[in-house]
């Protein structure tokens, strides 16, 4: 793949050695790294909170009324195709450097999968189940609370998980726009050297993996037992009818 001969520094050549140095960096700076990790989690949590507050109800309502499929499709494109660096840089020019611009950019990024999945989850609930609930005299709100939301939970939660992992994984890039967190170390090789950059990168990977595993666990825990083995689009839940 020798497309172009990049420069290879001395540090690059001694690769195993670098990993040992990185391990030392992690061992010697656990407190600092933990602070930075918490900073990153705070930023990610705030962004996810905004995305949850805006995108989730919007997706659920659009799905409930079977409206706005273009919005849902558009959101999925935004989630995937809009480069995070572009988003962060664009919000920086509007909102200035610091916490807020990164929070908003990450919230927009996370809103994509949230909106798409909550819309899909509710919209695709078996029409027969909804009809039956209506026939029993349930109001629209009761149908949403008692039938559509429980059946949509697997898909909605997948959306939450994807959004959370996307936000946590993108947060290091926010460091370039004053977002803080572990990314501060990664983008500052001049101060922390390759061992620090590598150590922080490994911490970032672990953090994302941790969020992924933790949320998968929560997802399994919160999914109603009746929906666990059936898909949202599948057979109507006889027990609930």
Partner 1 sequence: MSLLIGDTVIPSFGKGSSCVTGDHTFCWDWVREHWGDTLGPALWQHIELTAIAVVIGFAIAFPLALLAHRFRKLEQPFGIFSALLYTIPSLALFQFLVPFTGLTVTTVEIALVAYTLVILFPNIAQGLNSAPPDVLEAARGMGLTRLQTLTRVELPLAVPAIVGGLRIAVVSTVAIATIAAFLLPKGLGYPIFLALKEPTPFKTEIYSAGALAVALAIGCDGLLVGLRRVLVPWVSKGVA
Binding residues vs partner 1 (CB under 8 A): 1-9, 11-12, 14-16, 18-19, 77, 80-86, 89-90, 92-93, 165, 168-170, 172-173, 176-177, 183, 186-187, 194, 197-198, 201-202, 204-205, 208-209, 211-212
| Residue at token pair 């290091």 | 172
Please, which residue, 28 or 69, has the CB nearer to partner 1?
Answer: 69
Which of these, 241, 1, 4, lies nearest to 130 by C-alpha position?
A: 241
Cα separation, 167 vs 198, whole angstroms: 21
Cα separation, 167 vs 105, whole angstroms: 9
Cα separation, 115 vs 71, whole angstroms: 9
We find the least distance from the C-beta atom of residue 201 to partner 1, in angstroms, to be 4
We find the least distance from the C-beta atom of residue 184 to partner 1, in angstroms, to be 12
Please, which residue, 122 or 185, has the CB nearer to partner 1?
Answer: 185
Q: How many CA atoms lie within 13 A of 74 on its CB side?
A: 7
We find the least distance from the C-beta atom of residue 203 to partner 1, in angstroms, to be 8
Contact 117, 87 (CB under 8 A): no
Please, which residue, 34 or 86, has the CB nearer to partner 1?
Answer: 86
Please, which residue, 130 or 167, has the CB nearer to partner 1?
Answer: 167
């Amino acid at each position: 793949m020798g497309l172009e001969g990049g420069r290879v520094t001395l540090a690059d050549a001694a690769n195993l050695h670098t990993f040992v140095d990185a391990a030392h960096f992690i061992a010697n700076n656990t407190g600092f790294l933990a602070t930075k990790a918490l900073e990153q989690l705070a930023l990610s949590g705030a962004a996810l909170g905004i995305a949850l507050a805006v995108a989730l109800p919007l997706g659920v309502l659009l799905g409930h009324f079977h409206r706005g499929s273009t919005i849902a499709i558009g959101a999925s494109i935004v989630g995937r195709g809009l480069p995070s660096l572009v988003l962060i840089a664009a919000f920086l020019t509007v909102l200035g450097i610091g916490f807020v611009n990164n929070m908003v950019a990450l919230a927009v990024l996370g809103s994509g999968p949230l909106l798409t999945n909550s819309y899909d989850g509710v919209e695709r609930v078996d029409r027969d189940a909804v009809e039956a609930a209506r026939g029993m005299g349930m109001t629209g709100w009761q149908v949403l609370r008692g039938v559509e939301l429980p059946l949509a939970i697997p898909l909605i939660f997948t959306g939450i998980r994807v959004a959370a992992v996307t936000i946590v994984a993108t947060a290091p890039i926010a460091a370039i726009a004053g977002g803080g967190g572990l990314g501060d170390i990664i983008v500052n090789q001049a101060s922390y050297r390759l061992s620090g950059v590598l150590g922080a990168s490994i911490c970032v990977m672990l953090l994302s993996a941790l969020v992924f595993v933790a949320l998968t666990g929560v997802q399994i825990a919160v999914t109603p037992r009746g929906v666990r083995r059936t898909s949202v689009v599948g057979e109507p839940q006889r027990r609930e009818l």
